[in-house]
Amino acid sequence: MRASIPTTFYLLLLLYTITTTTVATPPRSAKQTATAESPSSPSASTLDPHQLRALQFLHIPTTQDPCTTSTCDNATPFRHLLSLRLTDCPMEHRLSTTTLSTLSTLTSITFFNCHIPIIHFPSSLTTNLHSFTSINSLQRLTGVFLSHFHNLNHLYISGDPIKASGIHIITSNMKSLKTITLYNTHLTGYLPKDWNPKLIHIDFSKNKLKGSIPTSLTLLKNLNVLNFSSNNLIGVLPNSLGALTSLKILSLSSNSLSGPIPGSISSISGLVHLDLGSNQFNGVIPEFISEMKELKYLNLENNKFHGVLPFNASFIKKLDVFKINGNFDLCYKHSISLEELHLGIARCDKHGMPILPPPAMNTPSSSWVDVGGGGDENGGDDDVVEKNNQVHVNRGPNKVVLGVAIALSAMVFIIIFLVLLFIC
Ligand SMILES: *[C@@H]1O[C@H](CO)[C@@H](O)[C@H](O)[C@H]1NC(C)=O
Ligand SMILES: *[C@@H]1O[C@H](CO)[C@@H](O)[C@H](O)[C@H]1NC(C)=O
């Protein structure tokens, strides 16, 4: 078998989503941005032959004008590529610096399922790029390599390990950075102390980041999304967290954060998603949370909150997701409607202390309430597991009995059928 041109691998796709989000930033060259809107206008000139050859070298089909499927400028006599998406690259694939130099007009590049080792990117390209994405693709990424893309607005790495002693190595030169996602990239070290005030989206979830959340983070007035889920963060939340008044999503779940929920969070009036689950948070749950009009997702499970749950059933029902189980010193004031929600925490006695044991939870709960562990006040983490198992065990026999019954009746039916068939 000869290594012929792989026909099925490369897709060159228009990245309008990314390019439209970058439109707001200062144009690299007036010519490029002014005319990027009409990629397939018939009167437009064809793609630069050098770039055409570079695409062919990358095994990207060029029988059709690439500018019909990808973003190009409208320069004359030849147009130039502005965005490139490499998907499902063949194993033998190699990027070359020469090819990348030819493609240095790109402002956006995406690698998706292209398991290729990184190579040197020519500085003309690193300077031009506004958007860099690698999803399960580039191998041997380093912080130093990424730090060269100092004009990025958007950086998105998912599933590709990055070797860097800290995130600041990557971001400290990126003066225009607006969104950054470094998800599942094996990053270690501490969170940066200096943040670009233009940031609107930060997702560092599923890494190995340690240390506490720096107060300097709360200077990000434009921040919409903050996701530090699944790291090794410790310490208390900065008191000034409420200064993040543009925040819509705050996800800090699965860390080892502790202390109370800061009262200042009450000033984040547009908060939609609050996930503090699986940490060591303590104190009472503040009442102001029930005043947060936009809130749809509230996860406080598996923490150490105590006292009386300050929510009524109508507030909880308004949420899409509400999780509270695994807080063993927390209880709810008795009411029929709260009882019906099977919250997974104990009822309060008249002193506001949990009564044991928690209500049985063998009825399936509604979709917006998590069926979780019980609220035994003496419980530890093991208890949650035990009780979760119990929930399954409780439900188990019914399913088994039902299954056996169905199987038996099916067998009886088949036997009768065979006997009848035989007789006939
Ligand atoms: C935050 O990150 C976690 C872990 O990667 C992910 O499961 C979750 O969906 C993210 N939350 C939001 C709101 O994007
Ligand atoms: C439930 O709590 C909300 C928020 O605190 C409050 O506005 C509402 O009046 C309460 N509803 C009932 C039925 O008590």
State yes or no: pLDDT of 5 exceeds 80.
no
User: Ligand 1: which atom is nearest the Cα of residue 184?
Assistant: 5
Q: Flag whether pLDDT at 22 surpasses 90.
A: no
Ligand nearest to the CA of 292: 2
**Quick one: pLDDT at residue 396?**
40
Q: How is the chain split among helix, strand and coil, in percent rounded to 5?
A: 30, 20, 50
Percent of the chain scoring above 70 in pLDDT? 78
pLDDT of 73 strictly over 50: yes
Residue that the structure tokens 């380093």 belong to:
142
Among protein residues, the one whose CA lies closest to atom 10 of ligand 1: 227
Ligand nearest to the CA of 335: 2
The pLDDT of residue 91 is 64
CA distance 95 to 126: 15
Write down the pLDDT at residue 407.
82
Binding pocket residue ranges, ligand 1, CB within 6 Å: 183, 205-206, 227, 229-230, 249, 251, 273
User: Burial, 369: exposed, middle or buried (Cβ in 10 Å; 0-12, 13-18, 19+)?
Assistant: buried
Give the C-alpha separation, 308 to 292, whole Å: 19
φ, ψ of residue 351 to 5 degrees: the values are -95, 5
The continuous run of DSSP H or E covering 233 comes out as: strand 232-236
- Most ligand 1 atoms within 8 A of CB, residue of 157, 227, 320 to mutate: 227
Pocket of ligand 2, beta carbon within 6 A: 290, 312, 314-315
Residue 257 Cα to ligand 1 midpoint, Å, equals: 17
Q: Which 3 state secondary structure label does DSSP give 403?
A: helix
From the alpha carbon of 297, which atom of ligand 1 is closest? 13
CA distances from 141 to 89, 94, 117, 156, 280 (A): 17, 15, 8, 13, 33
> Model confidence over 264-273: pLDDT tens digits?
999 999 999 9
Residue 390 confidence (pLDDT):
30
pLDDT value at position 361?
53
Please, which residues have CB within 8 angstroms of residue 163's CB and are 6 or more apart in sequence?
Answer: 140, 141, 142, 143
Specify the pLDDT at position 357: 62
Rounded mean pLDDT, 322-343? 92
Residue with the smallest CA separation from ligand 2 atom 10 is: 312
What is the band of 365 on the pLDDT scale with cuts at 50, 70, 90?
Answer: very low
- Give the HSE-up count for residue 161: Cα atoms under 13 Å, Cβ half-sphere: 8
Question: Region 293-299: what's the mean pLDDT?
Answer: 97
Give the ligand whose atoms come closest to the C-alpha of residue 311: 2
Among 229, 166, 237, smallest CA distance to 202 is for: 229
What's the pLDDT band for 192 if we cut at 50, 70, 90? very high
Query: What is the whole-number distance in angstroms between the Cα of residue 313 and the centre of ligand 2?
Result: 8
The confidence score (pLDDT) of residue 313 equals 94
Q: Measured in angstroms, how far is the CA atom of residue 96 from the centroid of ligand 1?
A: 35
**In the structure, what pLDDT confidence band is assigned to residue 30 with cuts at 50, 70 and 90?**
very low
In this prediction, residue 385 has a pLDDT band, given cuts at 50, 70 and 90, of very low
Predicted pLDDT at 302: 97
In angstroms, the CA 207 to CA 228 distance is 9
Please tell us whether the domain made up of 212-364 is placed in CATH 3.80.10.10: yes
pLDDT at 380: 34
Q: Report the separation in Å between the CA atom of 227 and the middle of ligand 1, taken as the mean of its atom positions.
A: 6
d(CA 206, CA 101): 34
At residue 348, the pLDDT reads 92
Ligand nearest to the CA of 313: 2
Pocket test for ligand 2, best of 293, 314, 341 (most atoms within 8 A of CB): 314
What separation in Å is there between the alpha carbon of 231 and the centre of ligand 1? 12
Instruction: Give the mean model confidence (pLDDT) for residues 8-22.
Output: 34
Residue 254 tokens, joined? 């699965």
Mean pLDDT of 407-415: 85
Q: DSSP states of 34-103 as a string? A: HTTT-TT-TTSPPB-HHHHHHHHHTT---SS-GGGTS-B---SSSB-B-EEEEES--TT----HHHHHHT
Q: Give tens-digit pLDDT for 33-72.
A: 333 334 444 445 789 989 988 888 888 888 888 888 889 9
pLDDT reported for residue 63: 83
| Token couple for 194 | 């200096």
CA gap 164, 191 in Å, rounded? 12
Position 92 scores a pLDDT of: 65
What average pLDDT score do residues 107-129 get?
A: 92
Distance 115 CA to ligand 1 centre (A): 24
Using CA positions, which residue lies closest to atom 13 of ligand 2?
314
Average pLDDT, the chain: 81
CA distance 149 to 191: 20
Residue identifier of the C-alpha nearest atom 5 of ligand 1: 205
Q: Which of 249, 240, 273 is nearest to 181 (CA)?
A: 249
List C-alpha distances in Å: 129 to 103, 126, 256, 327. 11, 6, 37, 47
Question: Side-chain half-sphere of 25: how many Cα atoms within 13 Å?
Answer: 21
Task: Give residue 398's pLDDT band: very low, low, confident or very high (50, 70, 90).
Answer: low
